[in-house]
Amino acid sequence: MKYTEEHEWLDENDGIVTVGITAHAAEQLGDIVFIELPEVGTEVTKDDEIVVIESVKAASDILAPLDGEIVEINEAIVEDPAKVNEDPEGDGWFFKIRPADPSQLEGFMDEAAYKAFIG
């Protein structure tokens, strides 16, 4: 897994990257009550605002961590946003993206670096 400074995690498997928010981010947001995800097939550019999250504490946007195409979204979290709080780094994933340039993954933190970052 790789991590961004925006508290997203990225898990690459067979050229597809699954993206979600970290347990730290879910804890900071509090109870999540609404999530809006991008449509499958959407072409995104790194740092595009592509997900809207609303919690009891705040509204927040998730930025695209990579250039690429959205190939799958997690409908389960749209129907039940609390899944993100329950399992942010598992069943609470947001979307899957096919990166246009897989080398963009090299610039992100590993788990040890992320733990030091949130330290």
Give pLDDT tens digits for 23-82: 999 999 999 999 999 999 999 999 999 999 999 988 999 999 999 999 999 999 999 999
Local confidence band at 96 (pLDDT 50, 70, 90 cut-offs): very high
Predicted confidence at residue 58, as pLDDT, reads 87
All domains in the chain, ordered by first residue: 2-118 (2.40.50.100)
DSSP state of 61: E
Dihedral sign for Cα atoms in the order 14, 19, 20, 24: positive
Residues 42, 38: Cα–Cα separation, whole Å? 7
Provide the pLDDT confidence category of residue 97 given band limits of 50, 70 and 90. very high
Q: Which residue has the tokens 């347990």?
A: 23
Report how far apart, in Å, the C-alpha atoms of 118 and of each of 36, 42, 53, 80, 112 are: 26, 31, 21, 27, 10
C-beta separation of 71 from 98 below 8 A:
yes
104 — pLDDT class (breaks 50, 70, 90) = very high
